[in-house]
Amino acid sequence: MSSDRFDVVVAEYLREVEQRLSGLPVLQRRELLGDLEAHIANERAESGVSSETELLQVLERLGAPEVVASAAYEEAGLPEPTMPVPVVSVGAVPMPDAVAAASGGQVFAGTVTFAASSRFSGRAERTAFVDTSEVAAMVAASDPAAPAAPASGAPASGAPASPGPFSSVAAVAAPGSAPPAWVPPAPTPQAYQPPPSPAVIPPPDDLLRKRPGPYPPSGPGRASAGAIPGSSQPGYSSGVPPFGQPPYVGGPPLAPPPARSGSSLGWLRAAIAGVAVLFFLVALSCVGGAFLMRSGSVEEAPAVGVPVQTFSQEATDEPTVADTTDAVPPPGVTTPPTQPPTPEAPTTPPLPTATATE
């Protein structure tokens, strides 16, 4: 066996270990894989592995991948993740015709290989003897379209896999027949339907009515507002997948109003409002007065004479213009303007002289 074949076997073993170490930190995983690889290389170099059997013995002593992985998780203090259940495929080995004829198909023994388990896990190949006629009958019973099981050693190839008690059976062999090849189902032609564009997808009603923002998706009122027509589920919170279609984004939510700084400036605002109202009233009164004056509904005020005070004795004795105009005429009667009398020249008293006083 060539060294390349050994490398393939070793790489397969290490790959299976790595698949089971996915829950470990990457450094620990790489370290363990490096140690295992170095161990295998040392064993090959020092023990002189010359056949695949010896190499498999080395790997067997090293341990099954799940055992090594379990120890790694235990040492790391991490829970071991659950591996998915592998699909069991059943192959078949053709039976010689002579044996098939001798058995008559009644107790035909086929070889069932459980290829899902690892070849390094100690469960590599398991054989079981099954009665193919019984299997074919059960397959036929589960699938009415399948041909009936032959009563004798007739080949039963072509029995399709079907759900039921043998849902994991991929093929059932019959004596003298080659293992049936898996034929993929023919694709049904369908017209191409482009995926709906987000622009043509109408937004949910609740988003149109309740702006802003679609979040939180499970907010109050969503259960009834997000109902999908034709669905028995009323809304998102009732089992309808929330992301079955591209979400409608109505825009960012509005920013909350700024917090009030307090009521300390309330009096200032009230004063400003009062001044504004007062200014408005004054302006309104001015405009109204100007309008009334221009319309002429307001009469001019009567002329008022300014009394002239004189320091002479005669002027004080005579009646002044203010005395004559004390009688205000009644409204609607126009009186000619009176010319105020020219006041006489005031008489100045004689200035005392110094000689007189002396």
Partner 1 sequence: MAEVAQLSTGLRRGTLEFCVLAMVEHEDRYGTEIVRCFGAETNLAASEGTIYPLLSRLRRVGWLDSKWSESPSGPPRRYYALTDSGRSALEHFRTEWVSFRQTVDRLVGTGGE
34-63: which residues touch partner 1 (CB under 8 A)?
35-36, 38-39, 41-46, 61-63
Residue 99 makes contact with partner 1 by CB under 8 A: no
Among 28, 142, 233, 325, binds partner 1 (CB under 8 A): 28
* The residue type at 103: S
Which of the ranges 49-57, 65-73, 92-100, 160-168 carries the binding residues for partner 1, by CB under 8 A? 65-73
Q: Which two tokens stand for residue 74?
A: 């235990």
Residue at token pair 């390349």: 4
Q: How far is the CB of 75 from partner 1 (least distance, A)?
A: 4
Q: How far is the CB of 67 from partner 1 (least distance, A)?
A: 6
Among 7, 8, 11, 31, binds partner 1 (CB under 8 A): 31
161-220: which residues touch partner 1 (CB under 8 A)?
none
Per DSSP (E only), the strands in the chain are 109-111, 129-131
CA-to-CA distance for 238 and 228, rounded, in angstroms?
11
Strand 129-131 and strand 109-111: the pairing is antiparallel
CA-to-CA distance for 201 and 208, rounded, in angstroms?
13
Q: Which two tokens stand for residue 353?
A: 């002289």
Q: Do 346 and 315 form a contact (C-beta atoms < 8 A)?
A: yes
Size of the site for partner 1 (CB under 8 A): 24
Residue closer to partner 1 (CB basis): 43 or 206: 43
Residue 298 vs residues 150, 215, 271, 289, 292: alpha-carbon distances, Å? 128, 69, 36, 9, 7
CA-to-CA distance for 16 and 117, rounded, in angstroms?
11
Q: How far is the CB of 34 from partner 1 (least distance, A)?
A: 8
Residue 14 makes contact with partner 1 by CB under 8 A: no
Residue closer to partner 1 (CB basis): 35 or 314: 35
Residue closer to partner 1 (CB basis): 40 or 159: 40
- Footprint of partner 1 (CB under 8 A): 28, 31-32, 35-36, 38-39, 41-46, 61-64, 67-68, 71-72, 74-76
